[in-house]
Structure 1
């Protein structure tokens, strides 16, 4: 999963709108599509309680934007034909493959490298908390999204996940969004911070003489809903105050 791309998010959002397949709450599928594309997801997996629906189409739009692929996990053959009719007629169907089996097992084994996972909270065989816990130490980041979080039977999923790393969003039938930053991403942040400190130290020393060069510091703000990082550089100028750059 790469860094946040506002351009990908916007294009995937608009592409989902143009598909013309609307859920009861249109903003739900567009949000999912923008979130997946904005994070530059390459392997997106959706676990459906029944046949694939508009939420799966959201990932198809995102995959077309990022060049990734979508795996749709179905619980049985019953919803396969309906799912194929919904998706395979699209121009971007080449990005999708259907798999039948136990979603929990497949996500922990065959698709453990997925960087965007979409799960129907009505699936009784999937424990999102266990999936999140199993991905804590992975090198690359991952985003888990549970949809239908407000519906009957999914309250246990919501209660087990809501916490400092998970947001329950009142979008559509409820979305549980959990973002895990991989160890590689954490290491890059540390390196960037150390590099900034070293540059500041070098600017303050010039052959033992005082310098009047401008100094700067970095401020990082994280959007709690999308996981997007906003980085600002605060410059200090002697006798001229501060200037903030994005």
Structure 2
């Protein structure tokens, strides 16, 4: 589990405040940058419905503190060009990708540890499920913005908080799948020596009859 870094969070927050001079929702951006940086996020992915903006800049500010990558998934070329124009020089810090967020998060960006999802996406809950599947080993923090526009997503085995920031933020932590371990002792019949092995196994699921 990654320990919270107050120093990273504070620096990212302050940097985002400076960027917020051209951002429409500085409060949202500042919160997101502090959250991503505080969790020492290394692979930050945002799934947008339109032009990248304040939320993307928040991830850029966090990446400056953690040394991580920022990926922005867009629906088409028009959104790509408008995003590059909107972000200006900061666009060079973002890897823009065009495609289906669900497929990309299950394949190319499987294991992303911080994901932003625009709840205006047609299948934003499907994108969330893709993140859940891809983050089983390492875990992830997932944030949905524009949450007041859609019903709150549900997720078994996780806690979701709806925060009244901007147009609403849904914050979910996808837990890493922990593996149990057990010790096995084997005795060599010829020498009488004992050999101890540690075997890791996934948690068993309860099966109801």
TM range (shorter): 0.7 to 0.9
Could you report, residue by residue, the CA deviation over 1:162-209 in whole angstroms, capped at 9, with x for unpaired residues?
99511111111000101123246x88xx9xxxxxxxxxxxxxxxxxxx
Q: Is the 8 A contact 1:128 1:161 kept in 2?
A: no
Aligned to 2:105: 107
Q: How far did 1:118 drift?
A: 0.3
Q: How far did 1:71 drift?
A: 0.4
Structure 1 pair 99/132, CA: closer, same or farther in 2 (3 Å)? closer
SS in 1 for 2:111: coil
Q: Is the 8 A contact 2:158 2:172 kept in 1?
A: no
- What is the correspondence of 1:39-58 to structure 2 with a 5 Å cutoff? 39-58=39-58
Would you say 1:21 and 2:22 are equivalent positions?
Answer: yes
> Could you say what the CA RMSD is over the residues aligned between the two structures, in angstroms?
2.3
Could you report, residue by residue, the CA deviation over 1:213-233 in whole angstroms, capped at 9, with x for unpaired residues?
xxxxxxxxxxxxxxxxxxxxx
Q: Is the 8 A contact 1:8 1:66 kept in 2?
A: yes
Structure 1 pair 160/181, CA: closer, same or farther in 2 (3 Å)? closer
Instruction: Give the paired residue count.
Output: 179
Cα distance between partner residues in 2 of 1:86 and 1:134: 32
SS in 1 for 2:137: coil
Runs (4+) of structure 1 exceeding 4 A deviation are 161-164
Q: Is the 8 A contact 2:111 2:134 kept in 1?
A: no
Aligned to 1:167: 161
Aligned to 1:75: 75
Q: What's the TM-score, normalizing by structure 2?
A: 0.77
Higher-Rg structure is 1
Q: Is the 8 A contact 1:162 1:168 kept in 2?
A: no
> Please, which of 123, 139, 143 is the counterpart of residue 141 of structure 2?
143
